Structure 1
Amino acid sequence: MTELSIGDVARRTGLSVHALRFYEREGILTTPVRRNSGGRRLYGEEHVDWLTLCTFLRASGMPLPEIRRYTELVREGRGNEAERLELMRRHQELLARQIARLGECMDLISHKVRVYEDIVSAADPGYECVGPGPVQD
């Protein structure tokens, strides 16, 4: 069994040592972290894998209480896959809406970039860009 220090896990997951301790206190790990005779935490590869998943869930906007609930379901084992699926589907739908909104934002920003590129290339100081399109004084 691989034994990793908290520093090793921090480096591998990109989480701070503080965040790792926080996740442990908050019940975000599916298995307990062992301690050596000196009281230092000993992580395994399963912790790294789980924390990596949690990092992706957080980066995608999943709130900590939902990650905690998901962790509880996984910890309980088989038999609650329907609830896990529902949790993931809800988050997937939220992400789909966010991605669509970001697409709209990107379209507007791309339009603004083209407008300003045209203005700069034409060197026409008579344009002022306000709102969704160019406005001429």
Structure 2
Amino acid sequence: MTLIHDGVSIAEAAEATGVSTHTLRYYERAGLMLVPIDRASSSHRRYTDADLSWVRFVARLRTTDMPIARIRRYTELARQGESTIAERRELLVQHREQVRAQLETVAASLRAIDHKIDIYDKEITHS
């Protein structure tokens, strides 16, 4: 998708980021956007490339179950600039550990499922 100089509509932003228009509005209301979303003269939202990139990042954090409050905190820190880089990094390091633990749990569950399928495969073969 090629962006025009004044940004894209909320529908186009939803398509470009893979989140719904409802979610985009929610992110804005919840204080999860890095900067306020520009509005066209018609008062319709206009999303820039930077806005879309930020939405994708927030969506990834949500996909990994980062709580809204923690995303809001991260966003507030990012707005403050370079002086908060260490704190933002630490927030992400902590979240990375939680994501790694989730991955280990899912991997163990997948192994259990695969084991059960193998048992069924052997039973079907010997029938």
> TM-score, normalised on structure 2?
0.92
> Aligned pair 1:50/2:54, yes or no?
yes
In the aligned structure 1, how far is the partner of 2:75 from the partner of 2:39?
21
In the aligned structure 2, how far is the partner of 1:11 from the partner of 1:101?
32
Please provide the CA RMSD for this pair: 1.0
> Aligned pair 1:25/2:29, yes or no?
yes
Counting only pairs closer than 5 Å after superposition, residues 1-137 of structure 1 correspond to structure 2 as: 1-123=5-127
Identity of aligned residues (%): 36
List alignment gaps of at least 5 residues for structure 1: 124-137
| Deviation digits for residues 39-74 of structure 1 (CA, Å, limit 9, x no counterpart) | 111111110000011111111111111111111111
Runs of 4+ aligned residues of structure 1 deviating over 4 Å after TM superposition are none
Larger proportion of strand: 1
In the aligned structure 2, how far is the partner of 1:16 from the partner of 1:106?
30
Which protein has greater RCO, CA pairs closer than 8 Å, 6+ apart?
A: 2
Partner SS for 2:83: coil
In the aligned structure 2, how far is the partner of 1:23 from the partner of 1:69?
13
Partner SS for 2:82: coil
In the aligned structure 2, how far is the partner of 1:20 from the partner of 1:95?
24
Larger proportion of helix: 2
> TM-score, normalised on structure 1?
0.86
Q: Which structure would you say has the larger Rg?
A: 1
State the aligned residue count. 123
List alignment gaps of at least 5 residues for structure 2: none
